[in-house]
Amino acid sequence: MTDRTHLVDEITGHRRMRRLRKADWTRRMVRETQLTVDDLIWPIFIVEGSGIVDPIAAMPGVNRLSIDKAVEAARMAADLGIPALATFPNVDLDLRDQTGSNALEANNLINRATAAIKKAVPEIGVITDVALDPFTSHGHDGILREGEIVNDETVDAIARAAVLQADAGSDIIAPSDMMDGRIGVIRRALDASGHQNVGIMSYATKFSSSHYGPYREAISTAGLLKGDKKTYYVDPANGTEALRDAALDVEEGADMLMVKPGLPYLDMCWRLKQEFGLPVFAYQVSGEYAMVKAAAANGWIDGERVMMEQLLCFKRAGCDGILTYFAPEVARLLAR
Ligand code: PBG
């Protein structure tokens, strides 16, 4: 019988990684990243009406809220210490049309929601998405003409919608449409209307992903969408192209960058953070949320621990924060 125990010291040269892992206190002492409530942005869905809390089947625990209920949710989020909400409207179907004209109504659902939330809970940040998909009868993020999503006309409409959102009290405009030139045009439109302090969080690298399904159910665009969004979102195969797209957004004046979806795109979080140094956020999208919830409901994973681990990994990958439907659940866990 040969005794090989001495070999380990010889091979490792007495460097043993397990020394720092040996106890809870050592692990806590050397931990490189932390997840805190300050990292959370909570996306919520708004519907017309009052007293409405309408569950979304593919997103257990997430509801469409009428404005009064959204205000209550904002109050709760602020009390939990969540810095900001991201709001998404489920617009009445009869208000949707070919050009998304309801986006240009000052008093539309999303703007009334922003005004109500900022009035009741001024200390919470409100981030408004400014693509046209909640407003179009075809579910695309832009204006559809003869089978094409027309870029420049869409950018003009989105910039006008952004100004109306800022007028209503939005703190941060988040363009998710991926049209060319939108960041620069929105920045100029905001500045020209006295909104110099309204920020822009660009969905800088937004991929043509299959992870958005439950969201499209939540805002009722799933049944409307004709074709796909491949002519404006980035191909999931292309990291370097996505970086170039983000570089243009930085040049045009984006204050913050977002990567979407999150988990399959952690390399993009890292690359954006290294390249630009701007605040980087990941959007853990509806499909990612649904996967965790579904597996947990089947008892196949420990949902709570997977949730916390995934969010921590976004931090390790360089993110400054995460848009996540788990936000209130996580905030409560962190407060324990
Ligand atoms: C579109 C938009 C999408 C999401 C937010 N805004 C994607 C889409 O419908 O194509 C997805 C968010 C999610 O899946 O959680 N402007």
Question: Ligand 1: distance of its center to the CA of 285 in Å?
Answer: 8
pLDDT band at 299 (very low <50, low <70, confident <90, very high): very high
pLDDT score, position 4: 83
Q: Is the pLDDT of residue 98 over 70?
A: yes
pLDDT in tens, 114-165: 999 999 999 999 999 999 999 999 999 999 999 999 999 999 999 999 999 9
Respond yes or no: is residue 69 known to be catalytic: no
Residue 326 confidence class, pLDDT cut points 50, 70, 90:
very high
For a mutational test of ligand 1's pocket, the pick from 135, 207, 212, 326, i.e. the residue with the most ligand atoms closer than 8 A to its C-beta, is 212
* Residue linked to tokens 């853990």: 284
Asked, for residue 16, whether it belongs to a domain, the answer is no
Q: What's the gap in Å between 136 CA and the centre of ligand 1? A: 14
Compute the distance between CA of residue 275 and CA of residue 259 in angstroms, rounded to an integer.
14
* Per-residue pLDDT, 1: 52
Identify the domain containing residue 181 by its residue range.
36-335
Query: Is 28 among the domain residues?
Result: no
Q: Which pLDDT band, with edges at 50, 70 and 90, does 55 fall under?
A: very high
CATH number where 55 lies: 3.20.20.70
119 catalytic? Reply is no
Q: Which of 260, 273, 293, 315 is catalytic?
A: 260
pLDDT of residue 316: 98
Q: Lowest-confidence range among 19-33, 39-53, 214-228, 302-316?
A: 214-228
Catalytic residue (choose from 206, 229, 273, 315): 206
What's the pLDDT score for residue 206?
96
Q: Give the residue-averaged pLDDT of 59-79.
A: 98
Is 77 part of any domain? Answer: yes
| Of the candidates 212, 232, 215, the residue with the CA atom closest to the CA atom of residue 44 | 215
81: in domain? yes
For ligand 1, atom 11, the nearest C-alpha belongs to 212
Extract long-range pairs of 25-30: CB within 8 Å, 24+ residues apart.
none
Asked if residue 65 belongs to a domain, the reply is yes
The yes-or-no verdict on residue 226 having pLDDT over 90 is no
pLDDT of residue 2: 64
Count of structural domains within the chain: 1
Average pLDDT across the chain, whole number? 97
Position 183 in a domain: yes
